[in-house]
A and B are shown apart, each in its own frame.
Chain A
Amino acid sequence: MATITYRDALNEALVEEMERDESVFLMGEEVAEYDGAYKVSKGLLDRFGDGRVVDSPISELGFAGLGVGAAMVGLRPVIEFMTFNFSFLALDAVINSAAKMHYMSGGQINIPLVFRGPTGAALQLSAQHSQSCETWYLHAPGVKVVTPATPADAKGLLKAAIRDGDPVAVMEGELLYNMKGEVPDVEDGDFVIPLGLADVKREGGDVSIITNGAMVHLALMAATKLEKEGIETEVLDLRSLRPLDVNAILATVQKTNRAVVLEEGWPYVGLGSTIVSIIQEEAFDDLDAPVLRVSQADVPMPYAKNLEQMAKPSIEGVMDACKKVLYL
């Protein structure tokens, strides 16, 4: 095991997949000469040349659509959005083209395409640049979505996404790029994490926090604090939001009988409400308490530091919800 950053884990994944398969190429704003806005593509231009590491104009709809076209003719594009906040400009290419082409061509055309980049709020980037974008992508059938929380998951999931035959959005945590973690050594073989598998990041028997992406770390911090109060918290990292590991969700609910769904984005018509709905449909008799959600406040993200903190999900909020479902 090597301890590397989330950023380097993504870089490793790109290098390994581009080495393995010549049809894989990277395109996006400043991915080549500048090594990427978050330096994920560092060294790739030198290594693979400007035919496979391509700087695009500042035109999200243009290069996303170009990616869809390239995928249609057999390439495996990795389209980097500088952040997913900017990808709203490209949603027609994502929702109407990438997501639907396989269906509308009667299965003749596959779109083996990866959209990747950071999602979620960082620090004081204000309302337009602090959004958790998963729900926009999750809503439409036809796009797969993964949200790696650790360096190992980032590497394993990005590699799986590149190899997948359908469009996959790999949504990275903006605040996670510098996070270090253990990742299996390259010499130990190909490290790929299949899409659609959740991961129990912490075991516990009293209450389950079901979450994803950067929120996994918030959940783990809350769990550590709850442990001091004698509460054993299980943290289920969904990793893959579509396809969703429903079995893992049901298993943890059956184990603890109480669940809190923690999501980074807004609560309204969000990921959390879908998970709550699945739990009450499939695990009703296992519930000892209503399932609660913790999310960002239902407001545009404030710029002011104090207000931003109040709008984001907090450790205290997660702890309160856990105690509430435990009737404490």
Chain B
Amino acid sequence: MATKVHMEALSPTMEEGQVVKWLKSEGDVVSSGEILAEIETDKATMELVARGDGMLRRILLDAGSTAPVGAVIGVIAAEDEDIAGLVAGAGPPVSEEGSAPGSSAGASSPAPVASQPAVSASPTPSPSDAAASVSGGRVKASPLARRMAEEEGVALEDVRGSGPGGRVVKRDVELAAMEGIVAGPLTPTAGGFVHAEEDYEDIALSQMRKTIARRLVESIGPVPHFFLTVDVDMSRAGEARHKVNALLEADGVRVSINDIVLKATAVALRRHRDCNAHWGGDYVRRFNRVHLGVPVAIDDGLITPVVRDAHLKGLAQIAPEVRELAGRAREKRLRPDEYTGSTFSVSNLGMFGIEEFTGVINPPEAGILAIGAVEDRAVVESGSVVVRPRMKVTMSCDHRVIDGAQGSSFLRTLKQILEEPLTALV
């Protein structure tokens, strides 16, 4: 007899919980009362215990992911018990606002199974390792597969397509339904590159979040800023810039330090999506795509053109794009869609020799970086004083969205990337 593992209400006010970590793995034998996982509630981190005996057959919510109370996040069953039905129907309700069900796909795609349910021809699909083929944000799927996915509640973008060009076809949806890939927003903290994701995810405010928001606004104003500063060694970034410029010389592209900062920011934001977010009043919208606002001074003020999908673009694309946007910004020839929709901003006053400053957040964004000048400064390295090109980066954070630890963690990643640009490739 299989036992579903539910996200339980571990505090009186808990509406959703996040799996901090699983203490048992799929395949582990568990008995009733044993601790399965640590769950972060609105108040504290609590233990979730098994309610039945058997093998933990499936984990349906990855560590780091959030699900509403009541959602099925795992299945305990006998080793040979058929749990396909349980798994297929599992997962939190899709429509529930703010729910962030973990998807068992995304990071770990389903392995192909030997038997093909629909096609008695038992065709051997030759699935590529890629998930659903996405071009221009659209998943390629046969009309039938599309309809079936809707009926089965399968998230098409999480399904690996075995058809030509990665087209998702009937057998793929059937397989996904068996594997329990239910529709829902993607795990925000999933580490690796996630295919075919939504543009953003809205996260319902926990009680704690609401309290933080209310109290901080009372304290400091409508957007409760706080500021974090790091000092970055720009030696490697400078070297990288010279190498890249040598490579791109033939194309007539010149990459600036700021372009490298933009690229590094985009990469870091992909790794810290909690900082790539908007404050929505009663929810937080976490973006999966990175659209960087780049403030440009113009005659009677400033305007912020947007480098869209900066995380997908290389320096060879970013550099000319920024230059072109800034040029047209100064001529006041930007279209509205070119200066709206940013998810995060990067302001640079380094060219004015400003050592460090703080940027004012552009609502509803939750953060902005203030980039100072790269200057040779004396620093202590291995006990001796050496001269290094240094740059100060100050992040303004909307405390309703980003807490100190999250902002710091993002900045640490950004610093790592700038100090060793190879990190961006890892």
B-contact 0/1 string along A295-328, CB 8 Å cutoff = 0000000000000000000000000000000111
Q: Is A30 an interface position by the 8 A CB rule?
A: no
Q: Would B121 and A326 count as touching, CB distance under 8 A?
A: yes
With a cutoff of 8 Å between Cβ atoms, the chain A residues found around residue B123 in the complex are 326-328
CA distance A229 to B124 in the complex (A): 12
- Which segment of A68-76, A244-252, A281-289 sits at the interface? A281-289
Q: Would A285 and B147 count as touching, CB distance under 8 A?
A: yes
- Which segment of B4-12, B162-170, B237-245 sits at the interface? B162-170
Partner of B145, one of A205, A229, A288: A288
| Nearest B residue (CB) for A232 | B120
| Nearest B residue (CB) for A229 | B121
CA distance A328 to B142 in the complex (A): 15
Q: Is the interface of B mostly helix, strand, loop or mixed?
A: loop
A-contact 0/1 string along B97-134, CB 8 Å cutoff = 00000000000000000000001111111000000000
CA distance A231 to B122 in the complex (A): 8
Q: Is A51 an interface position by the 8 A CB rule?
A: no
Interface residues contributed by chain B, number (CB under 8 Å): 19
**What band does the interface of chain A fall in when counting residues whose beta carbon is under 8 Å from B?**
10 to 19
Output the least CB separation between A308 and chain B (Å). Answer: 32
Q: Is A206 an interface position by the 8 A CB rule?
A: yes
Partner of B169, one of A285, A286, A289: A289
Q: Is A230 an interface position by the 8 A CB rule?
A: yes
CA distance A214 to B125 in the complex (A): 34
Q: Would A288 and B121 count as touching, CB distance under 8 A?
A: no
Partner of A288, one of B120, B122, B124, B142: B142
Task: Indicate whether A257 sits within 8 Å of B121 (C-beta atoms), given known contacts A285-B146, A286-B144, A289-B163.
Answer: no
Output the least CB separation between B257 and chain A (Å). Answer: 50
| Nearest A residue (CB) for B171 | A327
With a cutoff of 8 Å between Cβ atoms, the chain A residues found around residue B163 in the complex are 289, 327
Q: Would B120 and A206 count as touching, CB distance under 8 A?
A: yes
Q: Is the interface of A mostly helix, strand, loop or mixed?
A: loop
Q: Is B33 an interface position by the 8 A CB rule?
A: no
Q: Would B121 and A289 count as touching, CB distance under 8 A?
A: no
Q: Is B143 an interface position by the 8 A CB rule?
A: yes
CA distance A288 to B146 in the complex (A): 9
With a cutoff of 8 Å between Cβ atoms, the chain B residues found around residue A287 in the complex are 142-144
Q: Would A284 and B143 count as touching, CB distance under 8 A?
A: yes
| Nearest A residue (CB) for B163 | A327
With a cutoff of 8 Å between Cβ atoms, the chain A residues found around residue B146 in the complex are 285
With a cutoff of 8 Å between Cβ atoms, the chain B residues found around residue A230 in the complex are 120-122
Output the least CB separation between B182 and chain A (Å). Answer: 21
With a cutoff of 8 Å between Cβ atoms, the chain B residues found around residue A285 in the complex are 143-144, 146-147
With a cutoff of 8 Å between Cβ atoms, the chain B residues found around residue A206 in the complex are 119-121
| Nearest B residue (CB) for A257 | B144
Within 8 A of B (CB), among A168-213: 205-206
Q: Would A328 and B143 count as touching, CB distance under 8 A?
A: no
With a cutoff of 8 Å between Cβ atoms, the chain A residues found around residue B143 in the complex are 284-288
CA distance A328 to B116 in the complex (A): 12
Partner of B164, one of A229, A288, A327: A327
With a cutoff of 8 Å between Cβ atoms, the chain A residues found around residue B169 in the complex are 288-289, 327
| Nearest B residue (CB) for A328 | B123
20 contacts between A and B (CB under 8 A): A205-B120, A206-B119, A229-B121, A231-B121, A232-B121, A257-B144, A257-B170, A284-B143, A287-B142, A288-B143, A288-B145, A289-B142, A326-B123, A327-B123, A327-B162, A327-B163, A327-B164, A327-B171, A328-B121, A328-B124
Interface residues of A (CB under 8 A from B): 205-206, 229-232, 257, 284-289, 326-328
Interface residues of B (CB under 8 A from A): 119-125, 142-147, 162-164, 169-171
Contacts A286-B144, A286-B147, A327-B123 given; 9 further ones with Cβ under 8 A? Answer: A206-B119, A229-B121, A230-B120, A231-B120, A231-B121, A285-B144, A326-B121, A327-B125, A327-B163
